[in-house]
Amino acid sequence: MGGSQSQKKEPLEDKPWREFDWGEKEALQRSLENFSVRNPEVNVRILVAGQIGAGKSSFINSVNSAFQGKIVCEALADATAGTSRSFTQRFQTFRIRHKNGELPFVFGDIMGLEAPSLSGLQVDDVISTILGHVKENYIFNPVSPASVGDEGYKSDPSLQEQTYCLVYIMAADKVSIMNQGVIEKMQNIREKATELDIPQVIIMTKVDEACPLVKDNLRKIYNSQKIKDKMQECCNLVGVPVSHIFPVKNYHEEIDPEDDIDVLLLRALSHIVNIANDKLAQKV
């Protein structure tokens, strides 16, 4: 009886509402490893931003794990439940590596977004980071955004230091209860990044926590009405179209990589780097 009730609460559609090839992991890996950047002298820089605890650093680690064939933790992530402060305090960049070298993609990891206006990362700091003004290892100040004259501020950034895609990290199990202050910050970031013509994508993490049926079988992700609804919520809150929203599961308790987790991550990354590469082409 419990199983029947669960099915009613978490309906599954007979046909996937988004086409997905679960057997394309190796093809995606080859494609990304052979990726041609429009400007060979510039790496494709991708900035991740989101509410504290949504899984920004874990997403970077999970992508690296998918390529390296082992669980890695280069971007330190906080495993403390219910934390109210961002674990990431400084701006750091992380290269994506595979077994034979490095890929021409760079992830930028920044402080998490918090609800109070003078807590966590400020909207102006996100925009400054996108434009390349924030130097590596700059420690964010929640009260005073980076500005000209600060030691961690670069007035004349190169193409290498600029961001070509902004990725919002949103936790599927927390979308419905996100603090209004955080939502407003994300909407402000969205508005300013759009004015700069910066492509934007949402990575929706923790799909297994949002839908028990997906937790039991990750391949049901695109049959789950709940996951589809959560993606629409993300769209409504931030304004990024559903076509640019990708549900994934980060590595958390696993000790070895799993193909189904990897292929979701790699498909999302493939879309992100192609979007970013098109933006880079406009500056070549």
pLDDT band at 81 (very low <50, low <70, confident <90, very high): very low
pLDDT > 90: what percent of the chain? Answer: 76
**Chain Cα centroid distance, residue 79:** 17
Q: How far apart are the first and last CA of the chain?
A: 61
How many angstroms separate the CA atoms of 276 and 282, rounded?
A: 10
More confident residue, 2 or 76: 76
Supply the DSSP string of 167-226, one letter for each residue: EEEEETTTGGG--HHHHHHHHHHHHHHHHTT--EEEEEE-HHHH-HHHHH-GGGTTTBHH
- Which of 80, 78, 75 lies closest to 93 in space, CA to CA? 75
Mean of all residue pLDDT scores within the chain:
91
CB of 131 within 8 A of CB of 155? no
Q: According to the CATH classification, is domain 38-281 in 3.30.1310.10?
A: no
Residue 273, pLDDT score: 97
How many angstroms separate the CA atoms of 2 and 122, rounded?
A: 45
What six digits make up the tokens of 266?
Answer: 């790699």
- Which of 178, 259, 176 lies closest to 219 in space, CA to CA? 259
- The mean pLDDT of 29-39, rounded to a whole number, is 94
pLDDT band at 269 (very low <50, low <70, confident <90, very high): very high
The residue ranges of every structural domain in the chain are 38-281
- The mean pLDDT of 181-203, rounded to a whole number, is 97
pTM listed for this prediction: 0.92
More confident residue, 4 or 176: 176
Residue 78, pLDDT score: 54
List CB contacts of 38: < 8 A, sequence separation 6 or more. Answer: 277, 278, 280, 281, 284
Residue 3, pLDDT score: 46
pLDDT(82) > 80: no
Q: Are strands 92-98 and 44-50 parallel, antiparallel or unpaired?
A: unpaired
Strand partners, 205: 171
More confident residue, 9 or 82: 9
pLDDT(192) > 50: yes
